[in-house]
Chain A
Amino acid sequence: MPDGARGRSEPILEVNDLKTIFRTRDGEVHAVNDVSFAVKPGELLGVVGESGSGKSVTMMSLMGLLPMPPAEIVKGEIRYDGRDVRAMSPAELRDLRGGDVGFVFQDPMTSLNPVFTVGYQIVEPLRVHLGLSKKAARVRAAELLALVGIPDATARLRDYPHQFSGGMRQRVMIAIALACDPKVLIADEPTTALDVTIQAQIIELVKDLREKLGMAIIWITHDLGVVAGIADRVMVMYGGQIVEHGPVRELFARPQHPYTRALLETVPRVDGTRDARLRSIEGQPPNLAAHPASCPFAARCGHVMDRCLRENPARRDVGAGHDVACFWDPATGGLRDAG
C-alpha cells in the first residue's frame, strides 16, 4: 500500500480493503468499497467527500459503531496498534472506544444527553475506562473543560447541555473525547454545524491540543478550506471509494483525479480572482446499489474513456506519497501508463 512506504514510525491505525454493505429491503447498498489507509501517531488525516461518499460509514465501521444488521463488514482488516479490531469481543471494543479512540460528532446537541449535566457526561468515561474515584474524576473533568477553553470550568460542570452555546457544546464534546487520553481522535464534521468565527476557534483549539497531546486525528469534512489549513495528508472519497490520497500540499498543488480537480475549481473563494461563472460538476452522485464494475465517477467525468466504463480503476502511486484511482493522466490528457 502507498501509505506503508513513507515515514519510520508504525501506524497506530491501519485499515486494509475494508468493505461495508447495508442489507436493505431494496437490496444491498455498497457504502464502503475496498478502502485502505493508515494513520501514524501525531498525524492529522483529512477525509474529504460529499454526503453519501462513505466517509462517515468508513469511520463508524472501524469501531463497530454501525447497527448490524443492516450493516455488515464483508471483508477487510482493521488494526489498532497491531491488534485485530474485527476479532475483538464487544467488551474489548467498548474499552477501545472512548478509551484509546475518541469520537467527536457533527451535531453536539444530539450527541450530548440533555437530561444529565455536562460534568456527569465527562466523568462517566473517566470512571468506566480509567477507574477513577468520583472525586478524582471530577477534578480531571474540570481540568479537561479548562483545557478546551471553557471559562469557570468547575462551576460549569453542574450545567446542562442546553445552557451551553453551539461552539461551547462542541468544546464539551471534544473534552469528552479527550477524557481518557486517546491515541486516535476521530472527528466527523466537527465544525459543520458551527458559524465561521466559532469554526475558527475550534480549529485553533484542535491544532493546539494536537501539539500538546500528540494524538493522531482523523478529520472528516466536506470543506476543502478546512482541510487545507490543518491536515498533513488528505484522502478524497467518492462513491464509497478512495479516489485520491496524498500529502496536503502535493494534493492541492497537483490534483490528479478529475473529481478532486473539479471540486477545487467549483469552490469560490473570499480572496484572489473571482470567476464570472462557477464551474459545476454536472449530474448526481452515484447510486451504490451494486458493487461498481466501472469507475464511480465515470457518469459525471469530463475525461471519461471506454476503459472507465468497463473497469474500476485501482489506486496507483504517482510519486511523493500521492496516489490516485484513475485511468486518465492529466499530464498527457490520455490513458495513464499501466503500472
Chain B
Amino acid sequence: MLDNPQNVLVRVDGLKMHFPIYAGILRRQVGTVKAVDGLTFEIFDGETLGLVGESGCGKSTAGRAILRLYDPTEGKLEIEGRDISTIKGDALRNLRPKMQMIFQDPQACLNPRMTVGSIIAEPLDEHQAMSKEERQARVLELMDQVGLNRDFAGRYPHEFSGGQRQRIGIARALALNPKFIVCDEPIAALDVSIQAQVVNLLEDLQERLGLTYLFISHDLSMVRHLATRVAVMYLGRIVELAPREALYDRPKHPYTEALLSAVPNPDPETEADRKRIILQGDVPSPANPPKGCNFCTRCPKVMDICRTETPAFRHYGNGHHAACHLLEGA
C-alpha cells in the first residue's frame, strides 16, 4: 500500500499535553495531569499507524492534540511539512478539511435532531461554497461510498443500527476530501460481526482515496490486521514503535510482551496451557506518574535504574523503536 514509504505526512516531535488540576475555593492549580508526556513519531503518506494502549494511557488525547482540537502544552506538530502547533483562527480553520476524525461512539457524535443528509452536508456548508444541487449530489455520492442506501438521506440517526451510524460518521469525515484521518476507537462500540464490515470499508476507502490513518484502538488483534506500523502507549508515552510484523513477532518492551500475552485467542487447544504474563496492580495515575520509567511499578523485569532514570526512546534498527533500560546494554 505504500508508494513511497519515506514521504512523511505528519511529524510529531516531543508532543506534550498537560491538563491543570484546580482545587480549593480559590481554584488554585494544585497539580497537572500529564495525559501525553512527550511523543515523537512520524506518520508516512498512505500508511495506517496503529496507536494501542489501555484506557487512560493518553492515546485519544494524543489523537485529538495532533488534530489541534487541543492546544498542545509543548512540542511541534507538522502536517505536509507545515508547522501547525501554534497556528490559530483562520489559518487553522483552513487546514481542517485536510485532517478529519472518526469518533468512537456513533450514537453520541451524531446530532439526533439532524437528518443523515444534513449531518453529512454540514462540513460542506462550513468549508465550501456549493449550490444546493451540488451539495445534494456530493452527499449522495458520499453515502454510496460508505455503503449507505441513498434513500435514507432524510432519516434520523436513531433509525440506523450501530454499524450504519458509524458509516454516517465516516461519510461526514470524508466529505471534504481529507488526506489524514484520526480514527478514535471506531469499532469499539460495535458487535463482532459488524466490526469486520466497518474495518473492510475503512481499508477500501484507504485504497481508493489514498488516505492516511492514525488508528487508535485497544484491540490488538484488529490493529494487527489493519496497521502497517504500530505504536504502543503507556501512561502518556510511547514505549515501543515498530513495523507490524516486528512488533507482534518480536516485541522488545516488557509492556508490549505482557499486553500481547494477555489477549485471549479463540482457540481452546492452545489457550488452555498458554503461559500468560499477568501484570500486577493497576496503571498509576497520570497526575502522579512514578519516577523513572513509567512502567516500573508493574514491570516484571524491573531493575534499580528503572526507578530513577527515564529510559530514552531509541531506534534499534529496521524502524524498531523502544524505550527500555533492558535494551540499552544489548
Contact = CB atoms under 8 A, between A and B. Distances in A.
B282 A168 contact: yes
Contacts of B220: 196, 270
A196 to B, nearest CB: 4
Q: Interface of chain B, helix or strand or loop or mixed?
A: helix
Contacts of B195: 266
A113 interface: no
Interface residues of A, number: 47
Contacts of A285: 161, 191, 193
A42 interface: no
Contact of A200 (B248, B262, B269): B262
Interface stretch (B22-30, B34-42, B92-100, B272-280): B272-280
B262 A196 contact: yes
Given A195-B218, A197-B54, A228 B224 contact: no
Which among A50, A228, A274 has the highest number of chain B CB atoms within 10 Å? A228
Contact of B224 (A196, A270, A280): A270
A249 B248 CA distance: 26
Interface string A274-293: 11011111101100000000
B303 interface: no
Which among B191, B268, B274 has the highest number of chain A CB atoms within 10 Å? B268
Interface stretch (A16-24, A101-109, A217-225, A330-338): A217-225
Interface string A250-290: 00110000000011101111110011011111101100000
A263 B221 contact: no
A240 B206 CA distance: 37
Nearest to B197: A280
Contacts of A60: none
Contact of B267 (A167, A228, A275, A280): A228
Nearest to A278: B196
Contacts of A277: 200, 203
B266 A165 contact: no
Which among B196, B224, B278, B283 has the highest number of chain A CB atoms within 10 Å? B196
Nearest to B245: A274
A252 B196 contact: no
Contacts of A275: 225
B83 to A, nearest CB: 35
Contacts of B192: 50, 222, 224, 263, 266-267
Contacts of B194: 284
B301 to A, nearest CB: 15
A278 B258 CA distance: 26
Nearest to B196: A280
Interface string B139-175: 0000000000000000000000101000000000000
16 contacts: A50-B193, A166-B55, A196-B220, A196-B262, A197-B278, A199-B262, A222-B192, A223-B264, A268-B225, A274-B224, A274-B225, A280-B193, A281-B193, A281-B197, A284-B163, A285-B161
Interface of B: 54-55, 161, 163, 191-197, 199-200, 203, 218, 220-222, 224-225, 248, 258-269, 271-272, 274, 276, 278-279, 282-283
Given A197-B262, A229-B264, 4 more contacts: A200-B264, A203-B264, A225-B263, A270-B265
Interface of A: 50-51, 165-168, 195-201, 203-204, 222-229, 231, 248-249, 252-253, 262-264, 266-271, 274-275, 277-282, 284-285
- Which 10 A-B residue pairings sit nearest by Cβ, starting from the closest? A225-B264, A280-B196, A224-B266, A195-B54, A200-B262, A281-B193, A50-B191, A268-B225, A229-B271, A278-B196
